[in-house]
Amino acid sequence: MVDARVGPSPAPGERLSPARRGTGRVVVVQVLAVVAVFAAAGAGCGWLWHRLWHAPSGVVSQGQWFTDETGLRDQFAGTGWYVAIAVVAGVVLGLVAAVVADRSEIATLAAVVVGSALAGWLMLRVGVHLGPPDPDALARTSPDGTRLPGDLRVPQWPPRLAFPLGAVVAVTITWFTTTGRRHAGDHPEFKESLSSRRFDDGTPG
């Protein structure tokens, strides 16, 4: 016996297109939010980097700037502080992005990569801007014996990858450790359809 109340099933595209459009808008909003949060955090980390760093002191001699062993340690400490702050901030923001922006893993990963790279660049620029000027440039026009503070810098590019590295690692670990729980609630239409089929199969015709 055919149940006359059951009409032809709508095409999958027609049935899911409104939901997909809504999901697409949510994904765009999440991507923009992730990039914006990373950018703001990068600027804030640049300020924190500048505040925690102790500027080395040096002296001008024959148009060049020289510092002592303590000053060299302070210079290296600037790079160390950059890496430490960037890694911690990247891990925290990557974890939050992986948990909150969960509509599209590919879009979230792209947003994290772009946002964390922007954050690392902003952190560097803000910290350098707030720090003292380049003593080597000032030494060229300063008389001998002038004491100048060292500038805040990250001279090599590998430490500058600390922010993106921390963020991507955090996202990857979070996704791998929560895959089952994240996908348990996926595809509500499919689960509803499956429940309806079990009900229909158990109903005598």
Residue-level pLDDT at 180? 52
- Residue 22 is predicted with a pLDDT of 62
pTM of the model: 0.75
CB distance 36 to 29 below 8 Å = no
Domain residue ranges in the chain? 30-177
The pLDDT assigned to 19 comes to 54
pLDDT at 164: 97
Residue 94: the pLDDT is: 96
**What are the DSSP calls for the chain, one per residue?**
---TT--PPPPHHHHHHHHHHHHHHHHHHHHHHHHHHHHHHHHHHHHHHHHH----EEEEETTEEEE-HHHHHHHHHHHHHHHHHHHHHHHHHHHHHHHH--S-HHHHHHHHHHHHHHHHHHHHHHHHHHSPPPHHHHHTTS-TT-EEEPPP---SSGGGGHHHHHHHHHHHHHHHHSHHHHHHT--HHHHHHHHHHHHHHTS--
| pLDDT score at 5 | 41
Order of strands, sheet of 64-67, starting from the edge strand that comes earlier in the sequence: 64-67, 57-61, 147-149
Q: What is the mean pLDDT of each run of 10 residues along the chain (205 residues)?
A: 43 51 81 97 97 90 85 87 98 95 89 97 96 89 87 90 97 84 51 48 49
Q: What is the pLDDT of residue 50?
A: 95
For residues 149 and 18, give the distance between their C-alpha atoms in angstroms, rounded to a whole number. 61
**Residue 146: CB atoms within 10 Å:** 15
Within 10 angstroms of residue 170's Cβ, the number of other Cβ atoms is 22
